[in-house]
């Protein structure tokens, strides 16, 4: 299967190379309690890989896989973790009947709008569940509560890196049950149940919690779930420690294409395009098929609306990635250059800039258009929905430029590729003002 040129296990590594791999594997472990009851001897061996799975067995009652990630991780990185876990589900389904329980959204760093309730948000607020189910079986957490008989998770595995780390040149995939490296983020109540964040569901309890040191792709944990535990419901905490099974291949793209935005958000974005940017699917050659399995386009067929799409990341990137982020004046200079080059009179900007910076942008760039929701719209769509609307509008632009190493920009890259845009109009980024060699992102190839 042809894969994207230069791609690695995850978008962060594709953008930054081996250094990103070191960073990913060095992620701090999640917090963990004293070890739960031990499995029977011989049930699980150190370094056991997914390739040693037994032949498909009788399914019986279906089992539930839940997961969560490190709390500071943002919306778009979490979307990437979903792709990794979906690959694990596909591996499990070869042997048993499993269903993925979608972790409710809420309490993310970038969701800072005041007076908006943003906890226990179901996936259906942001994504089309029937589309997800065409790829793997998924259910919302509320359905899990109804089916499983109560707010209990039988087994929680907290994933962590290896305390001893690994040496460059000796990479191997392995997984072992180990003592927890850090202090527990779960605490026992008077009934000996484990209490934790559990996506804001305070009534949820874990029956057993233990730690797994893991180094490898998502499916490396399949033997643990199939042979090391008989728990009907299993949660993987800190699931971002798992890498992609087949990054950039057919399996990756099937899952990514199944992540169709909720229709009500796409409708809002489409109406904004039509009203303020003179952009429609017919004119832009971006006709959208509601069934993602039937949507197969050739790169370069989409033209896009008569506007420049821009994602300008600010806030924490100003100090966290200062070498990759231009000043406001530098960004405006680049935007004007692109508008002149591509003969565009409008620019749509998605940005997390503070109010003072957006006001400055308006003065420097009167042609700028932004989606600025009313309070009622914000309450209805929430910060996550507004971000999706921004991405959807950027995805339909004639030309797009984003911010280096930002997963927000990366998701727009993927969306544009799904829509059929020429990679040359998609894989572009702002450069830091001190960069001498401003290398642009790798051009990728979608695989059907």
Least confident of 140-154, 163-177, 187-201, 288-302: 163-177
What Rg do the C-alpha atoms of the chain give, in angstroms?
Answer: 22
Let me know: does 158 contact 27? Beta carbons within 8 Å.
no
* DSSP conformation class of 226: I
The pLDDT mean for the chain works out to: 84
Distance of CA 295 to the CA centre of its chain: 22
Q: pLDDT tens digit string along 210-250? A: 999 999 999 999 999 999 999 999 999 999 999 999 998 99
Q: pLDDT tens digit string along 364-379? A: 999 999 999 999 999 9
Between strands 187-188 and 305-312, the pairing is unpaired
* Res 170 pLDDT > 80: no
Burial 49-83 (b: 16+ CB within 10 A, else e): bbeebeeeeeeeeebbbbbbbbeebbbbbbbbbbb
pLDDT at residue 313 in the model:
83
Residue 23 neighbours by CB distance under 10 Å? 12
| pLDDT category of residue 38 using cuts at 50, 70 and 90 | very low
Least confident of 1-10, 70-79, 285-294: 1-10
The catalytic residue positions are 73
% of the chain residues with pLDDT over 90: 68
* Res 93 pLDDT > 60: yes
* Res 320 pLDDT > 70: no
Least confident of 223-237, 304-318, 324-338: 304-318
Residue 75: half-sphere exposure toward Cβ, Cα within 13 Å: 24
| pLDDT category of residue 326 using cuts at 50, 70 and 90 | confident
pTM: 0.83
Nearest to 420 by CA among 273, 286, 261: 286
pLDDT at residue 111 in the model:
86
Q: pLDDT tens digit string along 377-406? A: 999 999 999 999 999 999 999 999 998 888
Residue 437: half-sphere exposure toward Cβ, Cα within 13 Å: 1
Hey, CA dihedral for 355, 358, 364, 367, is it positive or negative?
negative
Mean pLDDT of 272-283: 98
Nearest to 73 by CA among 32, 101, 110: 110
| pLDDT category of residue 32 using cuts at 50, 70 and 90 | very low
194-195: strand order across its sheet: 152-153, 205-206, 194-195, 187-188
CA–CA distance, 264 with 346 (Å, rounded to integer): 25
């Amino acid at each position: 299967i042809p894969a994207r040129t230069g791609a690695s296990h995850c978008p962060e590594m594709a953008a930054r190379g081996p250094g990103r791999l070191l960073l990913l594997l060095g992620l701090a472990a999640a917090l963990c309690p004293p070890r739960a009851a031990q499995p029977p001897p011989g049930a699980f061996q150190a370094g056991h890989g997914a390739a040693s799975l037994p032949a498909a067995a009788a399914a019986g009652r279906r089992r539930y896989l839940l997961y969560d990630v490190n709390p500071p991780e943002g919306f778009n990185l979490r979307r990437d973790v979903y792709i990794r876990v979906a690959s694990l589900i596909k591996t499990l389904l070869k042997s048993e009947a499993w269903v993925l329980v979608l972790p409710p959204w809420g309490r993310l760093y970038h969701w800072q709008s005041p007076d908006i309730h943003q906890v226990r948000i179901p996936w259906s607020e942001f994504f089309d569940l029937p589309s997800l189910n065409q790829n793997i079986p998924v259910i919302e957490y509320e359905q899990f509560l109804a089916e499983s008989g109560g707010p209990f998770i039988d087994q929680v595995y907290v994933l962590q890196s290896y305390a001893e780390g690994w040496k460059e040149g000796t990479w191997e995939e392995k997984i072992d049950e180990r003592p927890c490296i850090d202090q527990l983020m779960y605490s026992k109540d008077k009934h000996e149940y484990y209490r934790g964040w559990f996506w804001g569901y305070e009534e949820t309890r874990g029956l057993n919690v233990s730690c797994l040191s893991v180094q490898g792709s998502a499916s490396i944990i399949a033997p643990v779930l199939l042979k090391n535990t008989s728990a009907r419901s299993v949660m993987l905490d800190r699931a971002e420690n798992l890498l992609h099974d087949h990054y950039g291949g057919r399996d990756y793209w099937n899952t990514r294409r199944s992540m169709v935005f909720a229709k009500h958000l796409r409708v809002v974005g489409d109406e904004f395009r039509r009203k303020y940017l003179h952009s429609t699917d017919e004119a832009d050659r971006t006709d959208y098929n509601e069934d993602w399995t039937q949507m197969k386009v050739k790169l370069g067929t989409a033209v896009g609306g008569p506007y420049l799409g821009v994602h300008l990341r600010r806030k924490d990137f100003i100090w966290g990635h200062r070498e990759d982020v231009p000043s406001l004046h530098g960004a405006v200079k680049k935007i004007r250059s692109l508008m002149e080059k591509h003969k565009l009179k409008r620019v749509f900007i998605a940005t997390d800039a503070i109010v003072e910076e957006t006001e400055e942008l308006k003065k420097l760039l009167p042609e700028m258009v932004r989606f600025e929701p009313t309070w009622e719209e914000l309450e209805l769509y929430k910060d996550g929905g507004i971000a999706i609307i921004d991405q959807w509008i950027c995805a339909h632009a004639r030309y797009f430029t984003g911010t280096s190493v930002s997963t927000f920009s990366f998701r727009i890259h993927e969306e544009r590729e799904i829509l059929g845009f020429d990679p040359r109009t998609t894989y572009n980024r702002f450069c830091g003002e001190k960069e001498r060699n401003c290398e642009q992102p790798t051009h990728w190839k979608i695989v059907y």
